[in-house]
A and B are shown apart, each in its own frame.
Chain A
Amino acid sequence: MSQSWRDQLIAQIDLCRPGPRDKGLLALRALAANGRLSEAMCRFHYLRLLLHPPRCADSLAGFTEPPSLEEWRSAVVTEAPIGVLTEVEGAEFGPHLSDRVEHWAVAGTTGFGKTVTLRGLALALDALGRALLVFELKRDCADFVQRLARCVRVRAGQGAWFGLQAPAGVADRDWAMVLAAILAARCGLKHATTSLARMLTWLVEQLNRAAVRGRLWPDVQLLCDVAVAAPSAKFAAKEDYERSSIQVLDGVAHALGPFARTFRGIDLEQFLAQGTSVVVDLSTLEPPAQWVVIDVLLS
Chain B
Amino acid sequence: MNPVNNTQSMTRGSNKSNLKTGLMLAAVALVFFVAVVANHVYFR
Q: Say whether A associates with B.
A: no
